[in-house]
Amino acid sequence: MMGDERERDGGRGLRTQDLFDVRGKVALVTGGSRGIGAMIAEALAVNGAKARHSSVYVSSRKADACTKFAKYVNERCRLLAEQDQQERDAACQCTPATTTARTTPASTRTATTTTTTVTARRATARGSCHPLPADLSSFDGCGALFAAFQRTGEPRLHILVNNAGATWGEALETHPESAWDKLLNLNVKAAFRLVQLFLPLLKAAATEAAPASIINVGSITGIGVSLTDTYSYAASKAAIHHMTRVLASKLAEDHICINAIAPGPFPSKMTKALLEQLGDEVVSAVPMHRVGRPADMAGVTLLLCSRAGAYITGAVIPVDGGMLVKASL
């Protein structure tokens, strides 16, 4: 920020509540009813974004899973808003308003009242979550999701999170063609198709000061080498990482930032079997000696979807507790 911009801003733009603000943004999170997608969708909703999620593949066959998760998030938002209100009421009761009125100039009191009102709105600003079930394993399924989103009446989309995906583990000798078809269709082609379809809505939301955001969820398996037999999965995640870089070069002129998150081990349906069978070994391979938590995914999501990340595009960000940089002989 240049000096004159700092002066006009008054320093407010450097505060965390402004830098990481996603209030009022419209988000679409695919694969958003569980695992990492649920962590991302909930983080956006409780921080004020209107988070719409689409459950895909397994959860897409169970629309009730989408509805159940949306109800859970909306209840969380309601409870948090109530807590905000209670804290604000308690703070107001502790403020000696009569003394302040006698000793504070009228102009200052007006500014203070305005600031308090804005703070009150911020304190109770929470988002909402709405189910949009879809099967993204084909271009037709992607088109159906886009049509469903259009029916909501939203004129723009600020945040697109391509999280829907699947994995496949099978020995090299028998790793089938169907694994490659399934994983490339869902993990790579669907993400590309959704960018194509939603591009006009992303452009409508994007400005130079507040770019639209696309997050592709990859994996550290697409960067390093896994000991598991996930050949097609690793290749699909490497592909989504590089596709992110290629699209970043294209979309920057439209004020759209696109980045990839490469998670390490997080609790999810995709990693459930691995963590149940080899949980201790997995944790021992992480320098921070734990698996990922919802707050870990929420933090990087809010960074990439807010002003804090407005100058970041084309990045592949590992969120893995240091697994990729673990020293070895």
Active site residue 233: yes
Q: Which CATH number fits domain 3-325: 3.40.50.720, 3.40.120.10, 3.30.2350.10, 3.20.20.370?
A: 3.40.50.720
pLDDT band at 316 (very low <50, low <70, confident <90, very high): very high
Instruction: Give pLDDT, residue 170.
Output: 95
Average pLDDT over residues 34-55: 82
Q: Are 257 and 310 in contact (CB under 8 A)?
A: yes
What is the strand order of the sheet 50-54 is part of? 128-131, 50-54, 26-30, 159-162, 212-217, 256-263, 316-319
pLDDT digits (tens, 9 = 90+) for 209-238: 999 999 999 999 999 998 889 999 999 999
**Catalytic annotation, pick one of 57, 72, 231, 233:** 233
Residue with tokens 């593949």: 57
Q: Where are the domains of the chain?
A: 3-325
Average pLDDT over residues 138-148: 95
Q: Are 26 and 153 in contact (CB under 8 A)?
A: no
pLDDT digits (tens, 9 = 90+) for 237-264: 999 999 999 999 999 999 999 999 999 9
Between CA 18 and CA 9 the distance in angstroms is 11
Q: Are 158 and 52 in contact (CB under 8 A)?
A: no
Kindly report the pTM of this predicted structure. Answer: 0.85
> Whose CA is closest to 232, among 163, 141, 171?
171
